[in-house]
Amino acid sequence: MAEIETYNTIRRTKDGAIFGLNIRNDLFSLRKPRIILTITNPPSDRIDGKNRYAWMNFGVDEMLTFMRKLQECIEEITLETEGKEIWEFRKGGEDRKRRYGADVLSRSFTMTADKGRILLKIEIFEGRQLFVKNRWGKSLPGIVEPIGKTPLESVYYDLDEGTAENLAYVLDKEYAAWRCALNQDLFAHPEKYTYYGLEEKRM
């Protein structure tokens, strides 16, 4: 099924610079449900004039962690906490569109509580795929390690308490929608699932 835009907010500064936060819901793709969070920042080079953006996708378990950490951040900013990193999450992937000129990318997402606001930040690094061996001696892909300390791209968006609570509400509703869709599919096609939870059998 197609991705559905469920949350979109844009903030313009006095000089016309645009900061944006967008969330798309692909949770109705039952085989690999996810949400995609995209942050847009103004161009670093005014001559170029193109807005910069970076995205991060979260599976169901990762989204639940996101929701829990966001709530923790909301509690921290009410205490006026300064610069406390609440969550750092890394994920590797391929640069299929060759946007950054790297074969493998390491994406980093951080959530920080700072002086009454929540800072969401995505950084993209060139990555190196590491491999591990299973008990049968077969080499399998493991984590993607970032190369260097300078990101290929870095974007951020900061939320006040009200915006953060609204975002948490939207994510909770999207998760509930996925559960409803999954339960309907379970009753319609019980042969696709194991008896030990709602995990689809590998076809």
Instruction: Map out the domains of the chain with their CATH numbers.
Output: 4-187 (2.30.31)
What pTM did the predictor assign? Answer: 0.83
Q: Which pLDDT tens digit goes with each residue over 63-120?
A: 999 999 999 999 988 777 788 999 999 999 888 887 888 889 999 999 999 988 999 9
Q: Sign (positive/negative) of CA torsion 36, 149, 141, 102?
A: positive
Report helix, strand or coil for 46: coil
What's the confidence (pLDDT) of residue 80? 75
In angstroms, what CA-CA distances link 197 with 58, 65, 72, 113, 182?
21, 20, 29, 36, 11
Q: How many CA atoms lie within 13 A of 105 on its CB side?
A: 21
Closest CA to 1 of 34, 31, 29, 38: 29
